[in-house]
Amino acid sequence: MDSWREYDEMYYEKRKKIIILTGIVVVVAVEQYKKLFIRKQPYRGESLRGFIETERIISVSNRTCRSIIRMSRKTFFSLCQLMQESDFLRDSPTVRVEEQLVMFLQTIGHNLKNRKAVHDFGHSGETVSRYFNLVLGAVIKLYPILLKPLCTTTHERISSNCRSFYPYFKDCIGAIDGSHVPAWVPLDQHCRFRDRHGEISQNILAACDFNMKFTYILSGCEGSASDSRILEDALHRDGEGWILVPQGKFYLDDAGFANQKGFMRPYRNVCYHLKEWRNSNQSPTNKKELFNLRHSKLRNVIERAFRLLKSKFTILKSQVEYPYKTQTRIVLACVLIHNHILTQNSAQEEEDFIADEEAEATTNGQTTQEETNMVVDSDASDGDCDGEDFRMRTGNNSGMNWLT
């Protein structure tokens, strides 16, 4: 009997200690919750700081607007209107749509850190992060609007140049290529994402038309994957990510891709890139060299599009510490905003601004690590050979029907 009484006392004493410890834990947890979420210290030293900073950026001049958020004032306000009309973004009690977009565009345009946006706009880190993801999702919803279906009519650049391009490239609808973007992934995945240069990256496949607007984008592939392998995957996908090539039309691609229906690559082991022709200061001597030169002049548009995209949005040049899914969404968002910019301004105008910006940085001793050899896109005379050499390539007089 005494042993049972001792056992009961020990049992109840143990339960009493457990209840007391549980109560202490609950009290501490409640106090921490109140401190973090109920009695938070305000981050806003000035209640209108975010509003004032936004107005300083978008209301001063086009140059200021372009430098900070990478687009003109007209383009910015049209994007705001598009977001609000589509009901993808709304004003909140403390943050207007304009301020949400400015924080997002400044982040992707300059790879801005969260703490810097906290300081500039006077919001908490959680608020800045929340609105970044909110705007990112809203931009991606614009996919059907800004990544429009291909135009199958012959582009003016081809139809207006009967000496070099028409009718030999009359069925060409654009150019396609891959490009690497630095990626931030766990250590155990580095082998999959290590590209041929030894960098950790994702390989994106994109196509654009001759106005430098992207018409197709597939992001998220491992850096170790080759361009031809990604294209093969894109051709056999079901649903999202599937690439469509209209019947009888084709893209221009480089020697890294297979020469197949719907895609035309240059001759291998023949002088191809425009800088090779400039350096040699020679004219084509046979039909293969002539074809490669004209092919290069047209396909060069995808190189210019990638260069403009990465020059505007420097977040695409850095390993950003976001979840990998967010990194792939950022690439897509940058492409969509690039397309929106080109609906308001010409590609030449945007390239001129980037060139002026780089020249100013060089003058001020702030030269970056970007490529300095901007590819020249010229329709100048390319030799004495005529269109008959192209007919030898195609086998008939009607253009590139050999693809089909």
* H, E, C per residue of the chain: CHHHHHHHHHHHHHHHHHHHHHHHHHHHHHHHHHHHHHCCCCCCCCCCHHHHHHHHHHCCCHHHHHHHHCCCHHHHHHHHHHHHHCCCCCCCCCCCHHHHHHHHHHHHHHCCCHHHHHHHHCCCHHHHHHHHHHHHHHHHCCHHHHCCCCCCCCCHHHHCCCCCCCCCCCCEEEEEEEEEEECCCCHHHHHHHECCCCCEEEEEEEEECCCCCEEEEEEEEECCCCHHHHHHHHHCCCCCCCCCCCCCCEEECCCCCCCECCEECCCCCCCCCHHHHHHHCCCCCCHHHHHHHHHHHHHHHHHHHHHHHHHHCHHHHCCCCCCHHHHHHHHHHHHHHHHHHHHHCCHHHHHHHHHHHHHHHHHCCCCCCCCCCCCCCCCCCCCCCCCHHHHHHHCCCCCCHHHC
Q: What is the pLDDT of residue 68?
A: 94
Q: Is residue 387 over pLDDT 90?
A: no
The 10s digit of each residue's pLDDT in 116-171 is: 999 999 998 999 999 999 999 999 999 999 998 777 888 999 999 888 898 889 99
Look at 44-58, 93-107, 309-323 and tell me which has the smallest mean pLDDT: 44-58
Q: What is the mean pLDDT of residues 360-380?
A: 54
Q: Is residue 397 over pLDDT 50?
A: no
Q: What is the pLDDT of residue 370?
A: 43
Whole-number mean pLDDT of the chain? 84
Q: What is the mean pLDDT of residues 67-96?
A: 94
The 10s digit of each residue's pLDDT in 302-321 is: 999 999 999 999 999 999 99
Q: What is the pLDDT of residue 163?
A: 86
The 10s digit of each residue's pLDDT in 256-273 is: 888 889 999 988 877 766
The band of 52, judged by pLDDT with boundaries at 50, 70 and 90, is very high
Q: What is the pLDDT of residue 371?
A: 45
Instruction: Look at the block and give the residue holding tokens 């009718």.
Output: 167
Higher pLDDT among residues 292 and 394, named by residue: 292
pTM, entire model: 0.80
The 10s digit of each residue's pLDDT in 161-202 is: 888 898 889 999 999 999 999 999 999 999 999 999 999 999
Q: Is residue 204 over pLDDT 50?
A: yes
The band of 71, judged by pLDDT with boundaries at 50, 70 and 90, is very high
d(CA 44, CA 289): 64
